[in-house]
Amino acid sequence: MPTEKKREMVAFLHEQLSKSQLVILTDYRGLNMAALTGLRRGLEKAGARYHVVKNTLLRLALREARIEGLEPYLEGPTAVAFAYGDPVAVARALVAQQAEHPVLQIKGGWMPGQVLSPEQVQFLTTLPPRPALLGQFLGAVQGPLASLAGGLSELLRQLVYLLQQRSEQATEVA
Above 80 in pLDDT, residue 44? yes
Angle between helices 4-19 and 55-64 (to 10 degrees): 60
Furthest CA-CA distance within the chain: 103
Decide: 111 and 21 in contact? Cβ < 8 Å. yes
Above 70 in pLDDT, residue 116? yes
- pLDDT-based confidence at residue 153 (cuts at 50, 70, 90): confident
Q: What is the CB-side half-sphere exposure of residue 141 using CA atoms within 13 A?
A: 6
Between CA 134 and CA 129 the distance in angstroms is 9
Nearest partner of 65 among 11, 22, 118, judged by Cα:
11
Domain residue limits, the chain: 4-127, 130-174
Nearest partner of 73 among 124, 112, 109, judged by Cα:
109
Q: Which amino acid is at 1?
A: M
Phi, psi of 156 (to 5 degrees): -65, -40
pLDDT tens-digit map of 60-91? 998 888 888 888 888 899 999 999 888 888 88
Above 50 in pLDDT, residue 1? no
Q: Which fold has domain 4-127?
A: Alpha-Beta Plaits (3.30.70)
Phi, psi of 126 (to 5 degrees): -85, -10
